[in-house]
Chain A
Amino acid sequence: MKQLMLGNKAVARGLYEAGCCFVSSYPGTPSTEITEEAVKYDEIYCEWAPNEKVAMEAAFGASLAGRRSFCAMKHVGLNVAADPLYTMSYTGVSGGVVIGVADDPGMHSSQNEQDSRHHAIASKIPMLSPSDSAEALAFTKIAYEISEKFDTPVLLQMCTRVSHSQSIVETGERVVPERIKYEKNAAKYVMMPAFAKKRHPVIEQRTKDLAAWAETASVNRVEMGGTDLGIITSSTSYQYVKEVFGNSVSILKLGMVNPLPDQLIRDFASKVKQVAVVEEMDPIIENHVKELGIEVTGKDILPMVGEFSQNLIAKAFGKAGDTGASVDAEIPMRPPVMCAGCPHRGLFYTLHKNKCTVMGDIGCYTLGAAAPLSAMDMTLCMGASVSSIHGFLKAGEEENAKHTVAVIGDSTFVHSGMTGLANIAYNMSNATVIILDNSITGMTGHQQNPTTGYNIKGDPAGKIDLEALCRAMGINRIRVVDPYDLAACDKAVKEELAAEEPSVIISRRPCALLKYVKHNPPLRVNKEKCIGCKSCMKIGCPAIAIKDGKAHVDDTLCVGCGVCEQMCPVDAFEHTGKED
């Protein structure tokens, strides 16, 4: 049956049809829905792992056990999993292993714009790159065939526009290969120097074999059209090229972006007058084509930065792109904001008020960097808040310990904050670490994690006790505060900053968007009492605005958290008693 399907859902369908039995992932936009859709198939065991490295190693174990396995992550997650990745290339697989990695050109929801094809090349692992949902489904299945035929993990490169676009797919049946019986094979799976040295030549030969296979593989195809210009392209860029040029040019569409088919490229180039490469981010195909001695245009006319679009490509090739009209008014920006009732707000206001230096991390709370809270000095990657505060305190002025904190979410702390805390405890820096425990992985859309007590299906699961964990690591000062209570937050932050030893503050309250969280009735401003001082505006709540010089609460947004009430010097906020 033909149906419209999200690219990520099509990958999940591909996993189902390919007989994949094991999925372990860490959520990350734009990859998250692959695993959320896969778990809807009862035949596939799915889980959220604490981080991408664990997920990939778990998938490796499932492969050793003889089953087809999968893990998904965003592009930066592949950095976390790079350690197993580079050596799984050497061990190869038993049951097929496919690794889904979703790039985010344009950085819709990411901290950098890295091109994961570099990892494929460096780890010598083949990479497929679909350009729509139908290919996402088909390539997932082909990836398993490649994995088992060539004894290698296979990378499936998605990007925001392929992951989060729906296009038409036709589904098939699930076929499950028989479980491959586990047999001990130390020379293949124990990567100590003596064995690894013997594996490396095997991997070099495998790359040659894969390149030869790529010459005739169906995933790479030539679409001959006009021969004045021949465009080599892949992924979503192919769709933009088709949109702009239709059949007026010839196209070499590469579904496999590592390794590349030299002869196919040479043959294609020989049939057209001029060759261009259209690829987002880095000039990887382009440089390869140049190495073959073929003259090519590419990044000389196309950007390395951001996403492509049909207009961008049209203009680069000297065609007129469309333009539209604008209104005669200054349009205010609408940046994302912390939701009304967000438990992070009270804590970040406290940090702002105390003029703290804040080592930030990755999650919804990164929005604490924006005005008016403006309470973040640094955000690098998952876990970096806890690790970097240690260096900041060791190398900086002694005074720093009196105003510097690290903030990190519950899921991010388990992902890679724990090791940073171990360093603080072991090497003894006087750090104040604040764990923002909102009892869920928020930014990626509410995934369970090891601190929530529930698994990916919402069933009861093991639960890490954060207080006990921090204590076991050697932190003596641990306290829990309710971020809706500004006085308690202020006291906790002041006292722990003053303390002469490392401390952990757990700011604990569930995300206001969680279904089980009961909201209070919205507050109302007594216009008689309100003096228009704008104190309540300092917390940046989207439910509060100034109208005619007085504070006004939007009762469709307000969840009655009461943080604004604590800001008001004249008690102008009143409880309405109106039910949620």
Chain B
Amino acid sequence: METKNIMIVGVGGQGSLLASKLLGQLLLDAGYDVKVSEVHGMSQRGGSVVTYVRYGSSVASPIIDEGEADYIVSFELLEAARWLPYLKKDGQIVTNIQQVDPMPVITGAMEYPEHLVEKMKAAGAKVDALDCLSLAEKAGSAKAVNIVLMGRLSHYFDLPEEAWQKAMERIVPQKFLAMNKIAFDLGKNA
């Protein structure tokens, strides 16, 4: 099988690590070769962060290059737009509509661009945008945004529901499991 590419993008500190861990476990259990590449260190301090998840019968490079991503999963709207050049033609974006102002916007040097979902669509991307924060809060915690996104992403995967559930059981701490299962369903059915 040809290698498939998922990029998880967001703002340092938003908790994309759990999402990539979940995807890694899911795809490993499904029998694929998997590589996950993370960012640590300086850029984690509120900077733009990206995690690459690649799977297939045999994966070589740990990173995803421009025009290669089958999916971009974004925790923040501007970050989805920033990483758009990495999306394959016909690729799918799954994004939270939450906006986190970067420093140039905070200081007033630049504006947060408007109508980004429409602009990404105009650039040829398929965009699935949802309010993950509200859904996560509905599930019981703002921190479940990552699982809401995973629930939404599961839509596009040809994997049985049980596989996702099993991966969640292995990755999510027991005491948060019930809440995260609700978050997953809310994302999936949004």
Residues of A within 8 A of B (CB): 2-4, 6, 29-30, 32-33, 108-109, 132, 161, 164-168, 236, 239-240, 242-243, 309-312, 321-339, 364, 367, 370-372, 443-445, 534, 537, 540, 542, 544-546, 556
Measured CB to CB, the nearest residue on chain B to A245 is B60
Q: Mark B39-73, 1 if CB is under 8 A from A, else 0.
A: 11111111110000000000111110111110000
Q: Judge whether B37 and A164 touch: CB under 8 Å.
A: yes
Known: A309-B63, A310-B65, A327-B120. A335 touches B47 (CB 8 A): yes
Residues of B within 8 A of A (CB): 11-13, 24-25, 28, 33-48, 59-63, 65-69, 78-79, 81-82, 84-89, 101-113, 116, 119-120, 122-125, 142
6 example contacts (A-B, Cβ-Cβ < 8 A) are as follows A4-B24, A109-B42, A164-B40, A167-B36, A322-B67, A332-B110
Measured CB to CB, the nearest residue on chain A to B24 is A4
Which residues on A sit within 8 Å (CB–CB) of B87? Answer: 324-325
* Residue in contact with A336 in the complex, picked from B43, B78, B81, B101, CB distance below 8 Å: B43
A371 to B104, CA, bound (A): 9
Q: Judge whether A167 and B45 touch: CB under 8 Å.
A: no
Q: Judge whether B119 and A167 touch: CB under 8 Å.
A: no
Q: Judge whether A332 and B108 touch: CB under 8 Å.
A: no
A321 to B61, CA, bound (A): 14
Known: A161-B37, A242-B60. A329 touches B105 (CB 8 A): no
A334 to B11, CA, bound (A): 8
Q: Judge whether B63 and A30 touch: CB under 8 Å.
A: no
A337 to B48, CA, bound (A): 11
Q: Judge whether A546 and B40 touch: CB under 8 Å.
A: no
Q: Judge whether B40 and A327 touch: CB under 8 Å.
A: no
* Residue in contact with B113 in the complex, picked from A4, A242, A329, A364, CB distance below 8 Å: A329
Measured CB to CB, the nearest residue on chain A to B125 is A325
* Residue in contact with A168 in the complex, picked from B33, B37, B86, B116, CB distance below 8 Å: B33
Measured CB to CB, the nearest residue on chain B to A312 is B65
Q: Judge whether B34 and A167 touch: CB under 8 Å.
A: yes
* Residue in contact with A364 in the complex, picked from B45, B60, B62, B109, CB distance below 8 Å: B45
Q: Judge whether A239 and B62 touch: CB under 8 Å.
A: yes
Measured CB to CB, the nearest residue on chain A to B124 is A325
Q: Judge whether B85 and A165 touch: CB under 8 Å.
A: no
A312 to B103, CA, bound (A): 30
* Residue in contact with B107 in the complex, picked from A236, A327, A367, A537, CB distance below 8 Å: A537
Known: A335-B103, A337-B45. A328 touches B122 (CB 8 A): yes
Known: A168-B34, A337-B103. 18 other contacts (CB 8 A): A4-B24, A4-B34, A161-B63, A164-B40, A165-B35, A240-B61, A310-B65, A325-B85, A327-B116, A331-B78, A334-B46, A334-B48, A337-B45, A339-B46, A371-B107, A443-B45, A445-B40, A542-B46
